[in-house]
Structure 1
Amino acid sequence: MTSLFPALTSGPADGPALRFGERSLTYTELAAAAGATAERLGGARRVAVWATPTMETAVAVVAALLAGIPAVPLNPKSGERELGHILSDSAPDLVLTAPEDQLPSPVGDLPRLDVDVDVHGTGPAPAVPEEHADESDPALIVYTSGTTGPPKGAVIPRRAIASTLDALADAWQWSGDDVLVHGLPLFHVHGLVLGTLGPLRRGGSVRHLGRFSTQGVARELAGGATMLFGVPTMYHRIAEAVTSDPDLVKALTGARLLVSGSAALPVHDHGRIATATGRRVIERYGMTETLMNTSVRADGEARPGTVGVPLPGVELRLVEEDGSEVTAYDAETVGEIQVRGPNLFTEYLNRPDATAAAFTADGWFRTGDMAVRDPDGYVRIVGRKATDLIKSGGYKIGAGEIENALLEHPGVREAAVTGEPDPDLGERIVAWIVPADPQSPPGLAELADHVAQRLAPHKRPRVVHHLNALPRNDMGKIMKRALTHE
């Protein structure tokens, strides 16, 4: 197959490839560091990577891919039990890490390979190894969040990485001239595949903030970066900062592309950023198992609340609970998203039962995400089938649209919506609110009227809980299973 990283051998030799804080590597230096590390992997069957937001993590993953050896990114914030499960399930031969890292048990029990990125020494650089792996060979094994049991290892083939990044290049007009800035973790497909491998496949460069800050975003965009990737939590902080930070406003205004993903960006944050900067944030939709499925295109309409249209090569359909296809493009009829294409994972490692259950007989992956489609094909995700589809009074209601409506209320800072059993309605809608003013939170009647006027009376909340904060994971997603009806 063709190389995942053609720029390592034929790209801009002295052009910037990676920058983490004050440390940077050109393509020549990256090729030397990754090539040398790849040689040291020897006959390893599978390797783990201690995925801190550092140069060493990026070099380690590129080295493993050059060597044709599957890499298992490890979240440094995972607890001992979760790490133990991942390591026993994936059985890596060794762990790649920065020399100064102190590894907890049980990671520290593995043979260790320190990644050397001191490439400024003398002597000839090692040759970049040829990529002999087949496109169907595994590239990464990324573990899911484990919300319904122990995390499952999604085996992502090389073809999925190549096809997703090339489809995004088409959708976003992404080229080697682009400089991407982000502060995302590197154990997840957003920060690792899109945010790190994406620029390297294009021959462009990435500047990682280490730790996200609006000041860092402003500095890098003002210093030549053209694209920003973030999650809704980051864009929420940006939306709050643009009212008082003219340098941030100027920097965002000059960016070519602002992309949000991993969860829905509330419509009111879209609006605040657009009002301040004149620039719209675009959204895309993907999963660990599928990489990217849809996106708003750079040359399309940045419509808040949507994740755009299917990417080139991706087939997408909506289905009813009985498996019949939803044919309506009416922005109202809810169905589960199923996808098919070269962007999909091949299996859950060591879980043939879970793999079989994830696919239909004709090869479509069941995402578990619920959506509607606008008349022009734009997809609007309304929530997860397991936690966000509420069946109330004979209606199928997506939690996402109610959350967006609640967030338009000036007294609401954060919102989540769930369902709970109701003897009359089947399920009633429950709103979990973080009020803008804890001393004067909006009441049930006020919020119910607010939602009913914007959506429909049957979508109004019947119960409201006030909280100090919503539980979120590392990617900023609200963990609804942690919300209890007490």
Structure 2
Amino acid sequence: MTLLPALRGSGVDRADALRVAGRTLSSEALEGCANAVADRIRGARAVAVEATPSIEAMVGMVGALQAGVPLVPVPPLAPAEERRRILRESGADLFLGAAADGTNLPVVPVDLRQRSWATQPEAEPTADAVILYTGGAGGSSRGVRISRRAIATELDLLADAWRWCADDVLVQKAPLFRAYGLVAGLFGALRVGSRFVHLDELPATGPVGTIYLAVPGQWARIARDVPCARALSGARILVSGDAPLAPAVNERIRLLTSHSLIQGYGTTETLIAVTGRADARGTPDTAGIALPGVQTRLLGGDGRPVPADGESVGELSIRGPTLFSGYVGQPDQVTPGDGWHATGDLATVAPDGCHRILGRRRADVVHCRNQAVPARQVEEVLLTHPGVHDVAVVGAPHRALGEMIVAYVVAADGLTAQMLIDHVGRMLSAAHRPRRVYFVAELPRSAQGRVRKSLLIAAG
């Protein structure tokens, strides 16, 4: 099984196959550079890469895949202690690129002047391709082992769902230490053979793409930047993933671009398992349907199945060919014998198979007036306000409502709580309006960039 066929001579040589911050590599140069890295690391247990958006980092990542060595992307903002834990647990014995704080591993430089045309032997399909660490929003992150077969299957299914082909130009800004940016973004483009563009920002002018990938927070910012949004009108599809998207953001993007965002849902352990299709099956406020071969189910608090009626809420479990192989350092923490992985997310499933993702049972869903309110929807609407820079929404106990919505906001001077409450009220229902708004200098985040809502809940 060839994981990246476009680098094995089966694709067209493109002068701008890889573009990062204005720098480009051709398909041929990328193959030669990646092979030069692969020659130097073959046989390693695992290799770590500082997951910065740079050509050198991406060449190192591709080189690890070519060598059949498990890749460990390290979040650039991870503190030294977290870095040491990731490297120790993952078994990495080399670090690709410049030396980084928090590691004393031998360093293998990535030199774009070096080329190799050696034939790289393919690793076994069941071998680990990457070890990705979860977001760590509720505690310590865990290293997730993902096989080459799971990645190849995932990307072929996405290519079919999105009608993704070699003629496309994929533009993204998603982090390369997350499955959405690394697997669906970079590796997807290289498997399909399309051009890949990674942006430092999402400006109104820049490389023109046919597919744009971004996370909900980025789409919320694009939605309030009219020139930037309108510049995406010429795209073929716009895709949002990594978290639920607020319908109000989707609607504004539609008005500005004439495109309804295609959503994708998955976890680090499942990769993207549910998505909309390029033929627009599904509705704007759902994540879409399960990919072929992927099964989903909802379980209630009593462990019994919840009906797929579009209204009943349950915890979503997934099984299928894109699931992970296990957690590093935790041999007992693997997928259950029946193959189902409990995601921890609450969802509904309509009779036509369309999934609506509400979010994490405790951190991302507020039970207000017997209604399950997705915190993400409130967050994305707050982010459409020009004075809001960052936001996190959680639930707090309330005698009459059950739970009330509380917003922690990083904002420009001059904003008031009532201004933000009114802003949400204009775009969502009364149940979505925050009862309390706290202005903070910054939000607590994990090394992977996830807001640690457990700390906000405890502080409340």
TM-score by length of 2: 0.89
Offset at residue 203 of structure 1 (A) = 1.0
Match 2:158 to one of 154, 157, 168: 168
Residue 59 (1) aligns with residue 59 (2): yes
Q: Does 1:219 align with 2:219?
A: no
Does the Cα contact within 8 Å between 1:319 and 1:336 map onto a contact in 2?
Answer: yes
Deviations 1:167-205 (CA, angstroms, capped at 9, x unpaired): 110110000111111222222212111111101000111
List alignment gaps of at least 5 residues for structure 2.
none
Question: Is 1:150 the counterpart of 2:126 in the alignment?
Answer: no
SS state at 2:357 partner: strand
Residue equivalent to 1:308: 288
Note closer, same or farther for the CA distance 1:271–1:433 as it changes in structure 2 (3 Å cut).
farther
What whole-Å deviation, never above 9, does each CA across 1:275-299 have from its counterpart, x for those lacking one? 1221222211011111111111110
Report the counterpart of residue 220 of structure 2 in structure 1: 236
Query: 2:349 is aligned with what amino acid?
Result: R
Name the structure 1 match of 2:404.
429
Q: CA deviation at 1:391?
A: 5.0
Matched residue type, 1:348? Y
Which consecutive unaligned segments of at least 5 residues does structure 1 have? Answer: none
Counterpart in the other structure of 2:350:
374
Any residues of structure 2 matched to 1:343-422 within 5 Å, and which?
343-353=322-332, 355-356=333-334, 359-391=335-367, 395=370, 397-400=372-375, 403=378, 416-422=392-398
Aligned position for 2:178: 188
Q: In structure 1, what is the Cα distance between the partners aligned to 2:44 and 2:172?
A: 31
Residues 52 and 407 of structure 1: CA distance in aligned 2, closer, same or farther (over 3 Å): closer
When residues 35 and 411 of structure 1 are mapped into structure 2, their CA distance, relative to the original with a 3 A threshold, is closer
Residues 148 and 372 (structure 1), Cα distance of their counterparts in 2 relative to 1, 3 Å cut: same
The answer as to whether partners of 1:231 and 1:260 remain within 8 angstroms in 2 is yes
Q: CA deviation at 1:145?
A: 2.2
Aligned-pair CA distance for 1:91: 2.3
Q: Conserved in 2, the CA contact under 8 Å of 1:411 and 1:437?
A: no
Kept after mapping to 1: 8 A contact 2:223/2:384: no
2:87 is aligned with 1:87: yes
Q: Distance in 1 between matches of 2:181 and 2:157?
A: 17
Aligned partners of 1:150 and 1:187: how far apart in 2? 16
Q: Cα offset for 1:235?
A: 1.4
Does structure 1 residue 74 correspond to structure 2 residue 49?
Answer: no
User: What does residue 104 of structure 1 align with?
Assistant: 101
**Residue 183 to residue 407, structure 1, CA distance change in 2 (3 Å):** closer
Residues of 2 paired with 1:230 and 1:93: CA distance? 32
Measured after TM superposition, the shift of residue 480 of structure 1 is 2.3
Cα distance, 1:264 vs. partner? 2.2
- Amino acid corresponding to residue 202 of structure 2 in structure 1: S
Structure-2 change in CA distance of 1:88 and 1:475 (3 Å): closer
The whole-number CA distance in structure 1 between the counterparts of 2:182 and 2:320 is: 21
Rounded Cα–Cα distance in structure 2 between residues aligned with 1:139 and 1:152:
16
Which is further off, 442-451 or 250-259?
A: 442-451
The equivalent of 2:30 in structure 1 is 30
The answer for the alignment partner of 1:290 in structure 2 is 270
SS of residue paired to 1:275: helix
Q: CA deviation at 1:444?
A: 11
Structure 2 vs 1, CA of residues 165 and 464 (structure 1 numbering), >3 Å: closer, same or farther?
same
Q: How many residues align?
A: 455
How far did 1:441 drift?
A: 3.4
Q: Which residue of 110, 113, 118 maps to 1:115?
A: 110
The Cα RMSD (Å) is: 3.1
Task: Specify the code of the residue in structure 2 equivalent to 1:4.
Answer: L
**SS of structure 1 residue aligned to 2:417:** coil
Which string of whole-angstrom CA distances, capped at 9 and with x for unpartnered residues, describes residues 107-162 of structure 1?
Answer: 2x11010012225x8xxx4223131x121111101111223332211001111111
Report the AA paired with residue 92 of structure 2: P
Dislocated runs of 4+, deviation >6 Å: 408-412, 443-451
Q: Which residue of structure 2 lines up, in the alignment, with residue 465 of structure 1?
A: 437
What is the CA–CA distance in structure 2 between the aligned matches of 1:462 and 1:94, rounded to whole Å? 48
Taking a change above 3 Å as real, the CA distance of residues 22 and 148 of structure 1, as seen in their structure-2 partners, is: closer
- How much has 1:424 moved relative to structure 2? 6.5
Shift of 1:13: 2.8
Closer, same or farther: CA 28–146 of 1 in aligned 2, 3 Å = same
Report the Cα offset of residue 403 of structure 1.
2.4
- AA in 2 matched with 1:128: T
Q: Name the % identity.
A: 38
- Between 302-311 and 318-327, report the one with greater CA deviation: 302-311
**Displacement after TM superposition at 1:471 (Å):** 2.7
State the Cα distance separating 1:392 from its structure 2 match: 6.0
SS of corresponding position for 1:228: strand
Moved more, 375-384 or 471-480: 471-480
How far apart are the structure 2 equivalents of 1:472 and 1:285?
Answer: 24
2:119 aligns with one of 128, 131, 134: 128
Question: 1:77: Cα distance to partner?
Answer: 0.9
